Structure 1
Amino acid sequence: MNIARTLPSLLVLGGIWGLTPSLAKTAMAAGVPGLGFGFWAALGSATLLGLICRARGIAIPVSRIHLRYYAGAGFAGFAMANLVAYTSLKHIPAGFFALLMPLVPMLTVIGAALLGQERLNTRSVLGTALGFAGVALAMAPGAALPDPALIGWALFAALCPACYAASNLIGVQWAPRDTQPVAAAAGTLVAAALFMAVLGVAMGQFHIPGDAETRGDALIPLQAVMTAVAYMLYFRLLVTAGSVVTSQSGYIVTIMGVIWGAIIFSERMGPLTLPAAALVFAGLWLVTNRR
């Protein structure tokens, strides 16, 4: 399956993931704690996917192998990633955060090489170097980071793509075979909701709907539906198109993230943002297009 046939799914997936940071930032500004927002989004989307599985007669496997996979992917790819994202988004622009997302496939390639899953080649090394150079340029004065004093938060935010990359590696190492994509997504989100609940209670960020402004609580069901759609598309693309094609959504995530940040928060990027994004995209292209 090629890019042209999967383009609609990639556009929807990238659009959702590009909008999510801005929605979370809006909800937090309205008084919804970040971890509480993530918990209800995960629980709501897990419920929706569970209902879809029930309607289709699809069982959600609960063997030891499946539970290990749900726990690993839910913890690294959702709970820890969102903990980093929601904490850092209080301080950095949503558009800058979007520029970090193409690091996911680059870090995945490095991790896969360290784990012996695949070999590094010249394109991967060069692409990863260009990607990191682009992110470094985005942190420079006159780029996507408005204040040099925010570099510490920017570096902390870079842990988010590292969490997603860890989730990808877990998917390669632990993913059980012959599991329906919608069932895998539902199981992963149930585990994610449990982790988010524990983290929210432990850090004093558990949220009871009604304790924040109406506009903040109103974004929770929207995010739940978006998360359910994104996870269904993500797991289906992995099965039908493979990880390389699926990773092309990184271009769309970055573009839409910058656009949504400009629309919702009136974020204005400096003149160095364009060359920074060009470096990031060049690195992403080298890493994900190996032919």
Structure 2
Amino acid sequence: MGLARPSGAWHVHGVNEYINPVRPGLIDWCLLAVLVILWGSAYAGTHIGVGALPPAVLVACRLWIGASVLGIGCFWVRATLPSISDKKTWGRLALIGGTGTLLPFLLISTAQKTVPSALAAIYIAAAPLTVALLCHFLVKSERLNWARALGVALGFGGVCLLFAPALMDHGIGATPLIPQVLLLIAAVLYGATSVMMRLVSPNLHPVAMSFGFVLIAAILSLPFAVAAWPSQGVQVQPYQMGAILALGALSTGLANLLYVLSIRRVGAVFMSNVGNLAPFWSIGIGAIAFGEVLPPTTFAALAILLFGVYLVQRVKKA
């Protein structure tokens, strides 16, 4: 199949390293908010899902459901995958699917068996720092200036402040080293993936791109799922099935599509703020739905983070 010629605003703005991203507008802020909701809710979905399935099996289910949703999307909008001979594009999709989707899912699921969620969130919040540094050297249109560098640093600082009370009780020293290393690797992989998305051909339809790398990740997840499948089988309750379906269809399928669209519009650095903002949504869900107490640093941390986001989005117009 050949490459689909895209249409719409996302193509007009350009998506490669030689074209400047546009200043984020209302639609981009809305997409950022939706992604924060989808990925912030994934923590709750994962928590429910691992109560019924081993982590590797849950990851495989999540990816196959997401790939199915995106495959239907490709059929609906008549988006085509790149031709088999396009080894460069398929190679980048394979990297995104394998090292930027499947591997981080597995690393985080494994690490969170022993790492407190507060510490895990801080490590994953390091991904925007990776994005900013890689974009500075690899993407000409997203070089760092002092304001954007300060914004990224403030975003990370805001997340650290948010979870400071929890770290005082369950700090770095009280947690095994290897799971922390796994989380740090996952954060770096997430950051590198955001940059790789910017370097995929702009002629590839975003739905096809999302479907391509999620499908590759789903295929690669099968050996891990088979190895982790319990000999006694599994029993899934209706509410757990609902959580797994939502995790796959919304937090994986729809979220990855929106992420690709957003990166192509406004660049990887701005959209990397999702990783910093998602923990706030997760905490909000816990407070509203489960009556959990908000950390005393919540609102101060949110104010610092939002100011950091403001600095990051101050890109020059093309």
Question: Are 1:198 and 2:198 an aligned pair?
Answer: no
Alignment of 1:89-128 (within 5 A): 89-92=112-115, 94=117, 97-98=120-121, 101-115=124-138, 117=140, 119-128=143-152
For 2:232 and 2:30, the matched residues in 1 are separated by 34
Question: Are 1:45 and 2:66 an aligned pair?
Answer: yes
- The one-letter code of the counterpart of 2:282 is G
- Checking the alignment, whether the CA contact within 8 Å between 1:95 and 1:258 is kept in structure 2 is no
- Checking the alignment, whether the CA contact within 8 Å between 2:198 and 2:267 is kept in structure 1 is no
Question: Are 1:57 and 2:78 an aligned pair?
Answer: yes
Change (3 A) 1:154 1:26: farther
- The one-letter code of the counterpart of 2:129 is M
Q: CA deviation at 1:41?
A: 1.1
- The one-letter code of the counterpart of 1:103 is A
- The one-letter code of the counterpart of 1:255 is F
Identity %: 24
Root-mean-square deviation (CA, aligned residues, Å) is 3.3
Q: CA deviation at 1:144?
A: 5.7
Question: Secondary structure of the residue that 1:111 maps to in structure 2?
Answer: helix
C-alpha offsets along residues 142-161 of structure 1, whole Å, 9 cap, x if unaligned?
24674222474556434333
Q: CA deviation at 1:237?
A: 2.2
Q: CA deviation at 1:6?
A: 3.1
Hey, what does 1:220 align to over in structure 2?
244
Q: CA deviation at 1:38?
A: 1.2
- Checking the alignment, whether the CA contact within 8 Å between 1:73 and 1:167 is kept in structure 2 is yes
Question: Are 1:87 and 2:110 an aligned pair?
Answer: yes
Hey, what does 2:26 align to over in structure 1?
4
- Checking the alignment, whether the CA contact within 8 Å between 2:62 and 2:244 is kept in structure 1 is yes
For 1:179 and 1:278, the matched residues in 2 are separated by 38
C-alpha offsets along residues 75-115 of structure 1, whole Å, 9 cap, x if unaligned?
22211211122123334455664555553332211123355
For 1:255 and 1:205, the matched residues in 2 are separated by 32
- The one-letter code of the counterpart of 2:264 is V
Q: Quick one: which of 179, 186, 194 aligns to 1:160?
A: 186
C-alpha offsets along residues 230-268 of structure 1, whole Å, 9 cap, x if unaligned?
122222223344435534544642321221244566554
- Checking the alignment, whether the CA contact within 8 Å between 2:118 and 2:163 is kept in structure 1 is no
For 1:251 and 1:3, the matched residues in 2 are separated by 20
Change (3 A) 1:209 1:99: farther
Hey, what does 2:281 align to over in structure 1?
256
Q: TM-score, normalised by structure 1?
A: 0.81
Hey, what does 2:95 align to over in structure 1?
72
Hey, what does 2:209 align to over in structure 1?
184
Hey, what does 1:16 align to over in structure 2?
38
Change (3 A) 1:161 1:71: same
C-alpha offsets along residues 112-171 of structure 1, whole Å, 9 cap, x if unaligned?
33557564432344334444444554564x246742224745564343332210101222
Query: Structure 2: which 5+ runs fail to align?
Result: 1-21
Change (3 A) 1:275 1:7: closer
- Checking the alignment, whether the CA contact within 8 Å between 1:48 and 1:228 is kept in structure 2 is yes
For 1:78 and 1:51, the matched residues in 2 are separated by 20
- Checking the alignment, whether the CA contact within 8 Å between 1:105 and 1:284 is kept in structure 2 is no
Change (3 A) 1:246 1:127: closer
For 1:208 and 1:43, the matched residues in 2 are separated by 22
Q: CA deviation at 1:270?
A: 3.8
Q: TM-score, normalised by structure 2?
A: 0.75
Change (3 A) 1:57 1:139: closer
Q: CA deviation at 1:25?
A: 1.5
Q: CA deviation at 1:182?
A: 0.5
C-alpha offsets along residues 201-244 of structure 1, whole Å, 9 cap, x if unaligned?
4xx43479961332434422221211211122222223344435
